[in-house]
């Protein structure tokens, strides 16, 4: 999955011949999973139509502050456009547009939107060879960089004038690759390896029956995705679940039983910086597993159970600097029991869930947690979606590494 997936990309198009490439660029952004809106200068409409871009982006295209043909039209809010964007890509950026970006001459909607932007801005210049190498253009590049903008270098090739050289806008595929590489390089958890366990475990009784629990695995999967989106390399060890995950930074290791999860965790734990044990591992398993299906009869069935190995405690015993996070699901004496687990299992942080809290627990889209660190400092959180709780957990990791 591209790092652009889920991002709001505002594409600004100025009036150069390279504007025709923005149809392909818009399509590539959509293919990468991004949401795209387009703002054009009036001159750019001579090179590509708003209809083409609105069709590809699935959003209205804006090119003026208001619609001249509709006396009841409201203005196109450049502030709203700018605040919506996670990334602002101006491609092509002509010499004229770059000069206006520097001077603040907001005589069109694109420049007004740029001046309101709080997100990262990427500029893909496009112009003829001599214009590209002119001193004023070089000055524009330096000033734009000093404002915090990122320049996507122009490429060499045949130009509209017939000349051959530097100045043509980077190809759409190269712009997408540039954005992905630049964003990935700035992600705070890049270079970190994180192990996440998720889901239930199934402990077999016979070939068709098992002991399990109601865990959906959603909390662990959300944590894994949030960590990967921050640049971490994630090993997701998951028990049986209907959930799926697709991200280039996530390696999924499927297991069924607690014993299998124990072995997988110990295989990978020594290679990670952080481990988050979000799985609901069965505490007990049948002492003897029948090789054939147990036949139903009129009498009762007695199963002798034995304790499963405590994965989290075993990791706490062998950790050598890993930031170890556990979960506690309690129904009584929640805080005291959670603190006891911190001591017993040598944890750095525990995420406490209480089944007494409405909206928390298995099979729900929300969770209400309390963070307790190794100093027994408590931080109760409000009821949130599990995606939001996952982000809170990742923020704890970022704080730990001061990133």
**Could you list the active site residues?**
213
Alpha-carbon 386 to chain mean position: 14
Structure tokens at 253: 């290791």
- d(C-alpha 77, C-alpha 32), whole Å: 27
- d(C-alpha 29, C-alpha 7), whole Å: 9
Describe the strand order of the beta sheet including 121-125 as a list of residue ranges. Answer: 61-62, 35-40, 8-13, 87-93, 121-125, 150-151
- Please tell me whether the peptide bond between 160 and the residue prior to it is cis, using omega within 30 degrees of 0: no
Give me the phi and psi of 157, to 5 degrees please: 165, -170
Angle between helices 311-318 and 258-268 (to 10 degrees): 20
- d(C-alpha 360, C-alpha 382), whole Å: 11
Beta bridge partners of 40: 13
CB 111 within 8 A of CB 100: yes
* SS3 state of residue 164: strand
- d(C-alpha 265, C-alpha 258), whole Å: 10
Q: Which of 321, 314, 382, 389 is nearest to 351 (CA)?
A: 389
Buried b (16+ CB within 10 A) or exposed e, 227-243: bbbbbbbbbbbbbbbee
53 Cβ contact list (under 8 Å, min separation 6)? 11, 13, 22, 23, 26, 38, 40, 61
CB 52 within 8 A of CB 59: no
H helix intervals, 104-245? 109-116, 129-133, 135-146, 172-186, 218-229
């Amino acid at each position: 999955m591209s790092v652009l997936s889920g991002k709001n990309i505002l594409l600004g198009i100025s009036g150069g011949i390279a504007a025709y490439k923005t149809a392909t660029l818009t399509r590539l952004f959509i293919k990468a999973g991004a949401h795209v809106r387009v703002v054009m200068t009036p001159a750019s409409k001579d090179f590509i139509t708003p209809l083409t871009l609105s069709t590809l982006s699935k959003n209205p295209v804006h090119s003026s502050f208001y619609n001249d043909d509709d006396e009841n039209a409201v203005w196109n809010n450049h502030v709203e456009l700018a605040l919506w964007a996670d990334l602002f890509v101006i491609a092509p950026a002509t010499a004229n547009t770059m000069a206006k970006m520097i001077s603040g001459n907001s005589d069109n909607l694109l420049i007004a939107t740029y001046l309101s932007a709080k997100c990262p801005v990427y500029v893909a210049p496009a112009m003829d060879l001599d214009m590209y190498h002119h001193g004023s253009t070089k000055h524009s590049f330096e000033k734009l960089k000093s404002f915090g903008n990122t320049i996507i270098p122009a490429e060499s090739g045949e130009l509209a004038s017939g000349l051959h050289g530097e100045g043509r806008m980077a190809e759409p595929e190269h712009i997408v690759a540039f954005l992905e590489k630049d964003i990935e390089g700035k992600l705070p958890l890049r270079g970190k390896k994180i192990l996440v366990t998720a889901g239930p475990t199934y402990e077999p009784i016979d070939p068709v029956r098992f002991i399990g629990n109601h865990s959906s695995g959603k909390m662990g999967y959300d944590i894994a995705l949030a960590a990967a989106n921050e640049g971490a390399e994630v090993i997701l060890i998951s028990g049986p679940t209907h959930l799926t995950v697709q991200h280039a930074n996530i390696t999924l290791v499927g297991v069924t039983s607690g014993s299998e999860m124990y072995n997988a965790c110990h295989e990978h734990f020594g290679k990670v910086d952080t481990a988050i044990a979000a799985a609901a591992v069965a505490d007990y398993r049948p002492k003897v597993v029948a090789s054939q299906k147990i036949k139903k009869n009129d009498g009762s069935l007695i199963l002798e159970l034995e304790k499963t190995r405590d994965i989290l405690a075993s990791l706490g015993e062998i950790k050598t600097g890993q930031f170890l996070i556990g979960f506690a699901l309690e129904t009584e004496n929640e805080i005291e029991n959670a603190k006891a687990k911190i001591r017993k299992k040598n944890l750095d942080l525990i995420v406490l869930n209480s089944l007494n809290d409405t909206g928390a627990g298995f099979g729900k889209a929300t969770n209400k947690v309390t963070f307790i660190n190794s100093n027994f400092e408590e931080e109760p959180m409000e009821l949130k979606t599990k995606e939001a709780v996952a982000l809170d957990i990742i923020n704890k990791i970022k704080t730990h590494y001061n990133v």
